Amino acid sequence: MARTTHISSQLPRRFHGPYSSHWYNAVRLCLPALLILATSCDHNVLVQSVTTPRDICINNVRQMEAAKEDWARRTGATGGTEVTSNSITSFFTNGFPKCPEGGRYEIGRVGEPATCSDPKHQVPHE
């Protein structure tokens, strides 16, 4: 008994080292993953909660492009056909979208991107 006590009182000192460094390593290995998770969560929260006029405008432009493509498919219009706002207004349940910062929309032709006249509102086309 006394011997066991003696050993176990010695062992923790020896075993604590590798044991705690094992945990240290585990935490250290997981930390980047945790950080990535944390930052991507923060990012999502930011993207969802902060909607800038630019975001709204770019969303409008994307909807216009989708409506334009839809309209072209339905009417059989080929690439290069000019599209007017009257042609695609019916695709928007709340009426034709307006730029939140007063930009003017250029719907453009079939197969071309729609644009806002505000240089800050250009849709990133990848």
- Residues forming contacts to Zn ion in the complex (CB under 5 A) are 57, 99, 103, 116, 118, 121
**Between 57 and 77, CB nearer to Zn ion:** 57
**Between 71 and 105, CB nearer to Zn ion:** 105
Q: Which pair of structure tokens corresponds to residue 36?
A: 């990535």
**Between 64 and 72, CB nearer to Zn ion:** 64
CB of 66 vs Zn ion, minimal distance in Å: 17
Other CB atoms within a 10 A radius of the CB of residue 92 amount to 14
SS3 content of the chain, % helix, strand, coil (to 5): 65, 5, 30
